[in-house]
Structure 1
Amino acid sequence: MFTQIKMKRDERGFTLIELLIVVAIIAILAAIAIPQFSAYRQRGVRASMVSDGKNTATQLEAYFVDFNAYVVPVANPFTATGTTLGTASGPGVRASGANSVTVTLVGTTGYSIETDNTAADGSGYTSPVTLTNTGTCTWASGQTC
């Protein structure tokens, strides 16, 4: 009979204190991890903005090498959302994700590319990055990239 009572005591499960400790540990880990993931996302969006701008600059420079002039866009400035810049023979400019790429020709020998993120979920970053044909890359805040 004593062995039956002893078995029932050993099979009780977790105490309330043990469960509270586990919940507290999970809450602490979540409080550390969530801001880190947000920062990673922001860095990823910023990297994609710079990448889209540099890809567009590469396409414009490749066109310049072939034709000794920059492509004439259908409008100046021209905003790309997956369309072709200029004529059918011009370079295709595509923006990734919620990014938009705006190309502005400066005379006949220069250009300015502005890449912005306009996420529909309200998490867009309002600091566009601007690249020029001279190789400068700056954020709207004045920082270089």
Structure 2
Amino acid sequence: MVKNEKGFTLLEVMLVVVILAILAAIVIPRFVGNAETAREKADITTGREVKAALDRYQVDNGIYLRIDELSAANGTITGSGLIPDYIARLDPTVTQQKAETGKTGFGIAEITGNTFPDPGNLIMVYLSSDGSQAEVKVFDESLASTLWSSI
């Protein structure tokens, strides 16, 4: 008499689990690295859009915004003239990288000559007091390295 048993042996199940674990060990780090790169590239694209908005403002008005025409608080830039006429919004929900609390979003600082203050946010808008200059820089999540600069 022959038994007709169906199913997998313990050895077969363990072999499949080991194979899946090896594949996961190879694939998961690649996905994590790709996600970080994608967030950085999204912020670079946002920085380019901000610079393009500032340039459109300059073309229409003959001068860039002055540092006193915009304000920044908690990663959000506000100010009539630029928002919403040239760009919809500049707040922390727009940036994609995972920086420390209070460092996400946008910041404003005054540019004097070719001197740029240290960054306070992921995307910094540097404006002159007389409206002659406007630059944008995008930083990595640690704010230690410049990912993109409009200079």
Q: What is the aligned length? A: 119
Aligned residue among 54, 61, 67 for 2:48 = 54
State the Cα RMSD in Å: 2.8
Q: Kindly, what percent of the aligned residue pairs are identical?
A: 24
Distance apart, 1:66 and its partner CA: 0.1
**Which residue does 1:89 correspond to in 2?**
81
Task: Tell me, yes or no, if structure 1 residue 115 matches structure 2 residue 138.
Answer: yes
Distance of 2:23 and 2:33 partners within structure 1: 16
**Regions of 4+ moved over 4 Å:** 75-80
- TM-score, normalised to structure 1, is 0.66
Distance of 1:18 and 1:129 partners within structure 2: 49
Q: What SS does structure 1 have at the residue aligned with 2:24?
A: helix
**Which residue does 1:102 correspond to in 2?**
124
Counterpart contact for 2:57–2:63, Cα < 8 Å:
yes
Distance of 1:75 and 1:31 partners within structure 2: 51
Counterpart contact for 2:44–2:138, Cα < 8 Å:
yes
Distance apart, 1:62 and its partner CA: 0.3
Report the structure number with the largest CA radius of gyration: 1
* Distance change >3 Å, CA 83–CA 105, structure 1 → 2: closer
Distance of 1:29 and 1:52 partners within structure 2: 35
Deviates more, 1:63-72 or 1:92-101: 92-101
- TM-score, normalised to structure 2, is 0.64
Task: Tell me, yes or no, if structure 1 residue 30 matches structure 2 residue 24.
Answer: yes
Counterpart contact for 1:60–1:71, Cα < 8 Å:
yes
